[in-house]
Amino acid sequence: MKASELVVKGTVIATEPYVPIDERSHRRPYTKLTFKISKVISGEKRLNGKTISILEMGDENLKFEGILNSKVGQSNIAFLIDVNESTNLETKLYGIYGAYKGKFIEDNNSRKYFRGTP
């Protein structure tokens, strides 16, 4: 997790299917999360309170073993990497570092965070 560029706590406010059209991605389906940051744990502190876009592997039709897809309203801690190296926050995309290893989901009852396992 030391290789992640940004570690944030926040809430998923929207999701949408996303398929990159480039040779690197092999047209794998992702879910694009609109994520409202409540706290920057590590990285660019200027992002506190901002909304960012995060790509998550899989979508509603294709699930990857051990990777729980995020839902609207869910509170997460995410270890992120810069996917497209854009300097414009509106077009910048982040990815979850290490797939399931880089995302922790808050349990609404216990208020503790957990992650899926493969």
Residue 82 falls inside a structural domain:
yes
The number of distinct structural domains making up the chain is 1
For residues 107 and 114, the answer to whether their CB atoms sit within 8 Å is yes
Q: What is the CATH number of the domain that holds 13?
A: 2.40.50.730
Q: What is the pLDDT of residue 29?
A: 82
Residue 29 falls inside a structural domain:
yes
Tell me the pTM.
0.82
Indicate the pLDDT class of residue 108, thresholds 50, 70 and 90. Answer: confident
Higher-pLDDT residue of 55, 19: 55
Say if strands 30-42 and 51-57 run parallel, antiparallel, or are unpaired.
Answer: antiparallel
Residue 1 falls inside a structural domain:
no
pLDDT in tens, 74-106: 999 999 998 887 666 677 899 988 877 888 888
Indicate the pLDDT class of residue 66, thresholds 50, 70 and 90. Answer: low
Residue 71 falls inside a structural domain:
yes
For residues 41 and 66, the answer to whether their CB atoms sit within 8 Å is no
* Domain around 98: 6-110
Residue 117 falls inside a structural domain:
no
Higher-pLDDT residue of 109, 66: 109
Check whether 5 has a pLDDT greater than 80. yes
Both tokens of residue 38? 């409540």
Say if strands 113-114 and 103-106 run parallel, antiparallel, or are unpaired.
Answer: antiparallel
Residue 64 falls inside a structural domain:
yes
pLDDT in tens, 22-53: 666 566 788 899 999 999 999 999 999 999 99
For residues 97 and 4, the answer to whether their CB atoms sit within 8 Å is yes
